[in-house]
Structure 1
């Protein structure tokens, strides 16, 4: 069974979506190194339609990206959960119609499937108890408002398996479900 990993850039107060608070360069080279390692462990990239369309409009056009993100996203098997998308237009991509399709995907052969961004999808995956691991890049910012990774009424028992702090002030915290 494949593992589903939710990776998010998150504020100290748990916000993952609130305007333009996040800048990837803020994490520095140390965070980029960790991201590269994590990309090497995953053979599937899962997102919702809105995030997919935003990424599809940006990443394929990058031709001077030294980070490796462009190459990864252009070659990894992408899965987009959407009821309306008909033609992905960014190969290799498979369209999934809902959370039940994600559950089926987890039962296929492969390594990790990583979901990032896509707050609506992340909430649905959490509610369906499909997430095996949370990799949170915690930025030293408090916004006081915005959409949080764990909405009110989402009790979860998690176990901290790793915590790394970086010179930029970002910390990565990895949590796994307790079974």
Structure 2
């Protein structure tokens, strides 16, 4: 399972493609990706979707995709056709219709894990910020491809929101595009292993006083 996401420097992934993509939470900076997108970024996306794939989507991302990709024309029509052919697995407990062809409802992570154990192509996650904490907790993400854009948004849905578990990641590939987009690929690398640069050194009197204030709740 591959998570592929567009994110800002402060981790926001909401509505990268256009102003009306997702205005929930009064988010008014939709389309923030556009000024930084270049040919190098386009090649990375083409490479991601060049091999057979299925899609994993949260319900809201599914609604966004289903209202756009089946109807897209021009230079993106080819990708739209690939999305049409791919199986779309939608994680939702709702009963709303999933009218886009080849769409499948998943009501639990156990059902998703069963799909992942099958013999189909890679599952690629698009959008769907609410899924990442759950998928990391369940150990279902095998690879994470982040395209980090040089912009700070200050608010919006974040890739690693509430409930994200601590995890170490290992970078296996990276590239910086001409417009400053950092494309980095990560794989899970176990638990977080904290260290201490001051290990073996006796704390100073000032440090002991600081710790006392922390304990007293006055720091």
Provide the TM-score with structure 2 as the length reference. Answer: 0.73
Alignment match, 2:179: 168
Are 1:78 and 2:75 counterparts?
no
Aligned twin of 2:155:
145
Select the structure of larger CA radius of gyration.
Answer: 2
Q: 1:25 deviation in Å? A: 6.6
Match of 1:15 in 2: 12
Alignment length, in residue pairs? 176
Q: Per the alignment, do residues 72 and 25 of structure 1 end up closer, same or farther by CA in structure 2, a change over 3 Å counting?
A: farther
- More relative contact order in 1 or in 2 (CA 8 Å, sep 6+)? 1
**Deviation at 1:165?**
0.8
Shift of 1:49: 0.8
- Is the contact made by 1:11 and 1:140 (CA closer than 8 Å) also made in structure 2? yes
Structure with the higher fraction of residues in strand conformation: 1
Unaligned runs of 5+ in 2: 15-26, 191-219
1:90-146 deviations in Å (ceiling 9; x for gaps): 111111112111111110002310001011122221222211111000000112333
TM-score between the two structures when normalised by the length of structure 1: 0.88
**Which shows bigger deviation, 17-26 or 119-128?**
17-26
Contact 1:48 1:121 in 2 (8 A): yes
The unaligned stretches of length 5 or more in structure 1 are none
Query: Offset of 1:26 from its aligned partner?
Result: 3.2
**Root mean square deviation of aligned Cα:** 1.9
